[in-house]
Amino acid sequence: METTKKWILLLSLLAMMFSFTACATGGTESSSFTMSEASTSEIQHRQEGNNLTADGTVTTGTTTYRGFMLDNVLHSENEGDIHYNLYIPNSYDGSTPYALFVTLPGYEGLYFQGVGANLRAEDYGFEAQKYNQEMIVVAPQLNDWGETSANQAIALTEYMISHYNINPEKVYLHGLSGGGETGFLVMGKRPELYAAYLATSTQWDGDLEVLAQARTPVYLAIGEDDSYYGSQSLKETYTRLCDLYEEQGLSTTEIDQILTLDVKEQDYFSQRGYSDQHAGGLSFAFDEAIMGWLFIK
């Protein structure tokens, strides 16, 4: 089963990369946003004094890509080595609480795919910067989409909150494809850590009861005929969460404020240069209605 899943994901990756290239040449998804890129030394300077933690240490990366310091490693006593790419705005000096955005990659961005593979394949970490200039962005490169990776995502989030001046009311989580599955596991463990969760082109894999008790806002975005997951899993997840919230006495209006199901038809993806709806999950990063929802929470 796992072998079949990996082959299907690999085929989806190839479709993603083909579609991404087509979009880049067509210019339909290009961004006019220009980010001031910090040099390696500047980013390292902003990380000085943050290398020691209660349960491990951080090995700082040595190369950058579009403003991200690549391949930092949190050596967690409980969760092992956690690889992540880190963007810290030039304006951050620790005196003001900043927001935190954690984006979990799909199969194409896992660590074995290569350092920085998630940033080269997905634009969520870059597009997020448009919504809040006072926000640190963390792009972990985990090893799978299971329990271990979920625990590592939680450990990394906790590390960032404790070692940087982070506003705990503005900690946001996103997951694409397999990263979305990891994100759902996180929501089933520690939903209270996050102000909101955006799940794109994925399926539910976690404890809905825990999420419902926390009432962490969740946005579910997927294609009607997603080539890998389909849309039925997220539809069922939405229905079950609605039922749980109704049992708590929430009104329809109150539920709508914390839960959104957004199922896109093929026209949405075709207009953005994608023939494959799962690969088209990359385009959600450029959708202001979807991304904007996350950062107003």
Residue 203: helix, strand or coil by DSSP?
A: coil
Task: Supply 246's token pair.
Answer: 């109704």
List the chain domain ranges.
Answer: 2-26+52-295
- pTM metric for this prediction: 0.84
CATH topology for 2-26+52-295 is: Rossmann fold (3.40.50)
User: What's residue 297's pLDDT?
Assistant: 87
| pLDDT tens, residue by residue, 192-251 | 999 999 999 999 988 999 999 999 999 999 999 999 999 999 999 999 999 999 999 999
Tell me what the pLDDT averaged over the chain comes to: 86
User: What's residue 12's pLDDT?
Assistant: 47
User: What's residue 48's pLDDT?
Assistant: 46
Task: Supply 172's token pair.
Answer: 């946001």
**Residue 101 buriedness (CB in 10 A; 0-12 / 13-18 / 19+):** buried
Helix ranges restricted to H, 62-145: 117-121, 124-127
Point out the residues of the chain with pLDDT beneath 50: 1-43, 45-55
Positive/negative CA dihedral, 234, 240, 245, 249: positive
Report CA-CA distances (Å) from 267 to 6, 190, 246, 264, 271.
Answer: 28, 36, 33, 8, 6
Q: Is 16 within 8 Å of 282 (Cβ atoms)? A: yes
Amino acid at 235: K
Contact partners, residue 2, CB within 8 Å, separation at least 6: none
Q: Is 184 within 8 Å of 205 (Cβ atoms)? A: yes
Task: Supply 46's token pair.
Answer: 């902003």
Residue 76: helix, strand or coil by DSSP?
A: strand
